[in-house]
């Protein structure tokens, strides 16, 4: 029934043949040594599996270790003071006074400085050292070792509002760094007095420059546009690059500080709040008359567009040289928006209301563009206002390259000398 001649010998695997050639206990032709061969295979497979598991474990451990180190470095860098990161000026004294870290809220820490050192550096908080005044105290100039000058804000009182503003500002500034945001150097708590130490801004506030004795004479058109661009960059960082986004809530010309090169930096973050975490029940209505957005004033609605409105007011100050609110009489005031809006949209009337200091130093096309941006920013309806990123990109082409923009200034060549014809 079966054709026995068709049955052939079993084929030998090439792998098995190779193993037989190098293993005396394995015969290529048959069954001899099959048991020991299986045991060897099992042992090899088990050893390979164990080795692979060990290698995989070591690889995973190495990756985790590298990530852990990188995260630690980023965290330390992110919360470090002005002596690191984006700082433009070294502050060697920080290491000397950084005796311990004080956490005011979960996840934040600031360099704690000795109260007696700061008291001495301000001549016992002498009136002659006052740089400015705020709602809860004064800002003093302080001279530390090696003639290094800083600014010290002194907050008095134990009211919940004063304490909250101190904690908010220390927490926020100890965790962010940006070239257009004031740098926190340290803080101190002594009895009921709380001190916050910042880098010193040599040219004071924008308010002082515009509305002080100089009446804006030091601010050319190009410098004013640079300041507007700097402020927009600082706000963009708060709105788009902080997590969660931060609403400044008290943007105004007195909280925009200028260094020796008129680089602008946002300051005074005591009223700042995270976007989306606030509502009318847990956030007290705060701000400065003239800068507060109408929807926040009337309905308590607070968004990043509230900061955009305040930015529009600052832009109008830069253009017109006027204060946000001016008194017409002891009982009547007029806002800069009410006064300027009819003229801002009329090109024939706009040049007549521009600050006389800059009227002959600008390109009229640029003036019209900046006025249009300001008009959009101060729209009563928040949805009509642009995002601060859109404002930023509108201003960049209007600022000279050497001041941080993309505008190429064309220098006119002096007229060629033409000799007079001889008689």
Number of alpha helices (DSSP H) and beta strands (DSSP E) in the chain:
13, 13
Choosing from 81, 250, 268, 307, the catalytic residue is 250
Report the alpha-carbon angle 79-80-81, nearest 5: 125
> From CA 118, how far away is CA 126, in angstroms rounded?
12
CA–CA dist 331, 353 (Å, integer): 25
The contacts of residue 155 (CB under 8 Å, 6+ apart) are 136, 137, 162, 165, 166, 193, 194, 195, 196
Output the CA angle 124-127-133, nearest 5 degrees: 110
250 is catalytic: yes
Quote the tokens at residue 156. 């008095």
Containing H/E element for 101? Answer: strand 101-102
Contact assessment for residue 263 and residue 179, using Cβ atoms and an 8 Å cutoff: yes
Computed on alpha carbons and rounded to an integer, the radius of gyration of the chain in Å comes to 35
The length of the chain is 423
Give the residue numbers marked as catalytic: 250
């Amino acid at each position: 029934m079966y054709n026995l001649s068709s049955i052939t010998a079993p084929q030998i695997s090439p792998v098995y043949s190779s193993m037989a050639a190098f293993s005396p206990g394995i015969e290529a032709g048959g069954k001899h040594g099959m048991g020991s061969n299986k045991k060897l295979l099992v042992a090899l497979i088990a050893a390979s599996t164990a080795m692979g598991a060990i290698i995989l474990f070591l690889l995973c451990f190495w990756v985790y270790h590298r990530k852990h180190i990188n995260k630690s470095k980023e965290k330390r860098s992110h919360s470090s003071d002005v002596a690191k990161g984006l700082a433009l000026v070294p502050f060697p004294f920080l290491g000397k006074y950084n005796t311990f870290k004080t956490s005011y809220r979960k996840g934040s820490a600031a360099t704690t400085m000795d109260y007696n050192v700061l008291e001495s550096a301000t001549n016992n908080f002498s009136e002659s050292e006052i740089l400015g005044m705020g709602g809860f105290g004064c800002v003093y100039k302080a001279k530390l070792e090696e003639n290094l000058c800083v600014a010290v804000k002194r907050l008095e009182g134990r009211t919940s509002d004063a304490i909250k503003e101190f904690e908010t500002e220390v927490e926020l500034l100890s965790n962010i760094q940006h070239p257009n945001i004031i740098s926190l150097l340290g803080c101190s708590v002594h009895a009921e007095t709380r001190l916050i130490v910042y880098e010193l801004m040599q040219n004071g506030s924008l308010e002082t420059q515009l509305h002080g004795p100089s009446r804006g004479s030091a601010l050319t058109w190009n410098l004013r546009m640079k300041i507007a661009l700097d402020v927009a960059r600082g706000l963009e960082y708060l709105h788009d690059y902080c997590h969660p986004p931060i609403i400044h809530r008290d943007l105004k010309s007195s909280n925009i500080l200028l260094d020796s090169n008129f680089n602008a930096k946002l300051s005074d973050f005591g009223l700042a709040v995270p976007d989306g975490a606030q509502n009318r029940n847990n956030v007290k209505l705060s701000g400065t008359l003239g800068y507060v957005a109408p929807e926040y004033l009337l309905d308590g609605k607070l968004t990043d567009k509230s900061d955009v409105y305040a930015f529009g007011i600052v832009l109008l100050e830069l253009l017109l040289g006027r204060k946000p609110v001016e008194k017409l009489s002891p009982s009547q005031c007029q806002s800069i928006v009410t006064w300027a809006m009819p003229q801002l949209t009329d090109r024939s009337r706009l040049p007549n209301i521009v600050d006389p200091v800059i009227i002959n130093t600008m390109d009229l096309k640029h003036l019209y563009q900046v006025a249009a941006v300001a008009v959009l920013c101060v729209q009563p309806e928040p949805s009509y206002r642009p995002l601060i990123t859109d404002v930023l990109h509108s201003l960049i082409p209007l600022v000279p390259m050497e001041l941080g923009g993309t505008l190429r200034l064309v220098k006119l060549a002096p007229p060629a000398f033409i000799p007079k014809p001889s008689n």
